[in-house]
């Protein structure tokens, strides 16, 4: 293992593999935003039963809990580039077929639920393979900046461009957003397929190795590493708090603040702008204090933002708090992902990545239920205060990580997955 300075930051070159991966990720995020916004709207036209409508959204979480660890193990077995473009091609064909069904009037709530479940099941392989592939496309010093550019581009495409485009596309027909999503999947598949990477270089699997044993190996690696264990626990606790906040934010704005739908739009815009700023400017913070301390600072500042949301009854204060929360949230996401990629041996990266994601997704619905219960029992502002409590626990879980050196896999050791021609 090689020790590196946690604050080392360098921008990746756009030419070559990273530029194409970035383009594919941003394009897919735009299509995902179209589909995510259009699915519940279509569901509401097919049934008036809230439970069935909610089931469409729930099926976007369930496959991660059921198949997330399996997707990580498969990602560590296969050529990640090939897995990614194949999954995107299959998803493109599924959504295209669904668009045809909608256009012909054959859509049903059962078909919507099946589509949401199938797409997210495939996503468990795609996302873990993507996380494992990125370190093979950029130099170690470029990894943090590469993650920041990926996440910022995805936020712009999904938050600022995709969602507002849905009403315009729906005006042209109920099937149009899904047809556009299918096109983005297929174009993204072509971009990933064009990456010039060599096949992964992995040690032969031991005789009798099974997916179950490989999943267990990844979980053991996560548990035994003090820094990874702390980062994963902190992320899981954060996601419980996030689930409580997101599930009830509309009630906080429209009920407690009495700001209506306009106020909710202002709040979401403030959060998006803060996130984008964090993606663009967070590198300077990392260069000054290092990645681990940047994560710790982000969580600490977010506690203050959550306390302000739950105690100051003014829309301007909420907007400012959400902007700060979004800024620090992007700092958190970029650097926890980068630290996990730096610290994990390449042949385990898919499995460790899947554990992070699975725990995070599992925490969100738990937090949503807790947030709803808190709002019912103690008032519409209480979920934000509950979220602050979980963020306090998250920051406490991070403290042991400060005492651990951050190391990465040496570029030319036996664990390197692939080399890219650039």
For 215-408, CATH gives: 1.20.1250.20
Q: What is the pLDDT of residue 153?
A: 86
| Angstrom distances, CA of residue 250 to CA of 240, 245, 321 | 17, 9, 15
Rounded distance, CA 367 to CA 359, Å? Answer: 12
Query: Does the fold of domain 215-408 match that of domain 2-195?
Result: yes
How far apart, in whole angstroms, are the C-alpha atoms of residue 307 and residue 381?
A: 10
Residue 46, C-beta contacts closer than 8 angstroms, at least 6 positions apart: 107, 108, 109, 112
What does the pLDDT read at residue 51? 66
Q: Rounded to the nearest 5 degrees, what angle is found at the Cα of 343, between the Cα atoms of 410 and 217? A: 105
Distance CA 225, CA 34 (A): 39
6-10, 16-20, 102-106: which is most confident = 102-106
Task: Look at phi and psi of residue 49 and say left if phi exceeds 0, alpha if psi is from -120 to 50, else beta.
Answer: beta
Question: How far apart (Å, rounded) are the C-alpha atoms in residues 85 and 197?
Answer: 13
Domain 2-195 is in which class?
A: mainly alpha
Residue corresponding to tokens 């873990």: 128
Task: Return d(Cα 309, Cα 257) in angstroms, integer.
Answer: 10
Write down the domain spans for the chain. 2-195, 215-408
Task: State pTM to two decimals.
Answer: 0.76
Share in percent of the chain as helix, strand, coil (round to 5):
80, 0, 20
Other beta carbons within 10 angstroms of residue 71's beta carbon come to 27
Burial class (CB in 10 A: 0-12, 13-18, 19+), 334: buried
pLDDT at 410 over 70: no
* pLDDT band at residue 13 under the 50/70/90 scheme: low
Whether 404 contacts 226, CB under 8 Å: yes
Instruction: Look at residue 90 and tell me whether its pLDDT is greater than 90.
Output: yes
Q: What is the mean pLDDT of the chain?
A: 83
Cα–Cα distance measured from residue 196 to residue 97, given in angstroms and rounded to the nearest whole number? 30
Tokens 């190391």 correspond to 407
Report pLDDT digits (tens) over 158-184.
Answer: 777 777 787 788 888 889 999 999 999
Q: What is the pLDDT of residues 202-244, one digit of tens each?
A: 566 665 667 888 888 888 888 888 888 899 999 999 999 998 8
Query: Mean of the pLDDT values across residues 251-267?
Result: 87
DSSP string, 322-340: HHHHHHHHHHHHHHHHHHH
Instruction: Give Cα 326 distance to the centre of its chain.
Output: 14
What integer pLDDT is reported at residue 3 of this predicted model? 35
- Contact, 296 vs 395, CB < 8 A? yes
- Run of H or E including 154: helix 143-155
What gap in Å lies between CA 298 and CA 401, rounded to an integer? 14
Q: Which of 126, 68, 25 is nearest to 360 (CA)?
A: 68
């Amino acid at each position: 293992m090689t020790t590196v300075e946690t604050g080392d930051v360098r921008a990746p070159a756009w030419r070559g593999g990273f530029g194409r991966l970035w383009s594919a990720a941003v394009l897919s995020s735009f299509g995902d935003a179209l589909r995510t916004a259009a699915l519940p709207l279509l569901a509401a036209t097919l049934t008036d039963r809230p439970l069935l409508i909610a089931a469409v959204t729930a099926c976007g979480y369930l496959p991660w809990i059921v198949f997330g660890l399996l997707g990580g193990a498969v990602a560590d077995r296969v050529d990640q580039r090939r897995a990614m473009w194949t999954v995107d091609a299959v998803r493109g064909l599924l959504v295209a077929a669904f668009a045809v069904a909608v256009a012909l009037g054959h859509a049903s709530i059962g078909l919507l639920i099946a589509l949401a479940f199938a797409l997210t099941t495939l996503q468990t392989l795609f996302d873990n393979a993507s996380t494992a592939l990125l370190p093979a496309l950029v130099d170690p010093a470029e990894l943090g900046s590469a993650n920041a550019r990926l996440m910022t581009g995805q936020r712009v495409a999904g938050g600022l461009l995709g969602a507002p485009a849905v009403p315009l596309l729906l005006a042209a027909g109920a099937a149009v957003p899904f047809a556009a999503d299918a096109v983005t999947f297929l174009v993204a598949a072509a971009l990933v397929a064009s990456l010039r990477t060599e096949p992964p270089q992995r040690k032969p699997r031991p005789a009798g190795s099974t997916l179950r044993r490989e999943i267990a190996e990844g979980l053991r690696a996560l548990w035994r590493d003090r820094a990874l264990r702390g980062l994963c626990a902190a992320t899981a606790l954060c996601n419980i708090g996030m689930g409580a906040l997101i599930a009830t934010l509309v009630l906080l704005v429209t009920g407690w603040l009495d700001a209506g739908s306009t106020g909710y739009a202002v709040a979401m815009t403030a959060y998006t702008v803060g996130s984008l700023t964090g993606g663009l400017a967070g590198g300077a913070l990392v260069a000054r204090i290092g990645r681990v301390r940047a994560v710790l600072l982000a969580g600490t500042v977010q506690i203050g933002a959550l306390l302000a949301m739950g105690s100051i009854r003014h829309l301007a204060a909420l907007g400012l708090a959400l902007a700060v929360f979004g800024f620090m949230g992007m700092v958190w996401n970029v650097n926890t992902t980068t630290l996990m990629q730096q610290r994990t041996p390449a042949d385990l990266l898919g499995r460790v990545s899947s554990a992070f994601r699975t725990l995070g997704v599992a925490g969100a619905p738990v937090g949503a239920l807790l947030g709803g219960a808190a709002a019912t029992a103690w008032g519409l502002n209480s979920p934000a205060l509950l979220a602050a409590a979980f963020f306090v626990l998250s920051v406490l879980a991070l403290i042991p990580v400060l005492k651990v050196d951050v190391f990465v896999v040496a570029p030319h050791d036996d664990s390197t997955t692939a080399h890219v021609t650039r």
